[in-house]
Amino acid sequence: MASITEAELTRALERTLVARGKMAPGEARPTARMILGYFGADDSVLDNKLSSDDRDRFYALEEEGLLTSEEEDATVSRGKTWRIHYWLMKKDRIRGVGSADDAPDPEDAGSVYGGIGESDWRRTDAGHP
């Protein structure tokens, strides 16, 4: 699957974290750049490469369904097992959120208003029907 672009990730951030008030609007593009800087052309990034602040941002994106984390166990010298944590971009979700049409269908509004009866449109004063 093709790499995620900065514009796609920025739109996804705006429509999730920014829309929910969890990120300031001006932070979407710099955050997208930071995330893409970690991933580069790869689909995954090792957790131990992240700074503490950036890891917090990754967790916020995981809560929105834009990233996911996985782990695997690797056996190293003398039979010792290490657990390796890494992050994956959910490209389909990012593209879906980034390309979703926010505008309501004009026909939907017409059907709602068309379904309201004449008596519901009349105003009445208190005590004067």
The CATH fold of domain 6-116: Arc Repressor Mutant, subunit A (1.10.10)
Assigned token pair, 69: 């984390």
At 71-104, the pLDDT tens digits run 999 998 888 999 999 999 999 999 998 776 654 4
Q: What is the pLDDT of residue 117?
A: 61
The pTM of the whole model exceeds 0.85: no
Q: Where are the chain's structural domains?
A: 6-116
2 or 66, which is more confident? Answer: 66
Between helix 52-63 and helix 28-39 the angle, nearest 10°, is 100
pLDDT at 50 over 60: yes
Give the pLDDT mean for 36-47: 92
C-alpha to C-alpha distance for 113 and 126, rounded to whole angstroms: 25
